Amino acid sequence: MGKRLFWFAVGVGLTALIVVKGREYYQRFTPKGVADQIEKTRTGVVDWVGEFFTTMSDAMETREDELREALGLDE
C-alpha cells in the first residue's frame, strides 16, 4: 500500500510539473509570446547600448580633462 501511494504521489507531482511547464512553453512559442520575447530583448539591448555610450562618453570626458591638464592646454 505504501509503495502504491508513493508512486501515485510521484505521478501526480510529475503531471503537475509537466502541465505547468507545458503551458509556459506553449505561451512562449505562440506568436504573441514570440513578439513579447523580441520586445523584451529589444528593450534590453537598447538599454544596454544607451548605458554603454553614456559610460563611454563620461570616460572620454574624464580622460580629455586629464590630458588637457597634463599638457597644460587649460588656460
47-58 pLDDT per residue, tens: 999 999 999 999
pLDDT tops 70 at residue 75:
no
% of the chain surpassing 70 pLDDT: 99
CB 37 within 8 A of CB 28: yes
- Mean pLDDT score across all residues of the chain: 93
Half-sphere exposure in the Cβ direction for 9 (13 Å, CA)? 6
In this prediction, residue 1 has a pLDDT band, given cuts at 50, 70 and 90, of confident
The answer to whether the predicted template modeling score (pTM) of the entire model surpasses 0.85 is: no
Whether residue 10 contacts residue 16, with contact meaning beta carbons closer than 8 Å, is answered with no
> When comparing pLDDT for 16 and 73, which is higher?
16
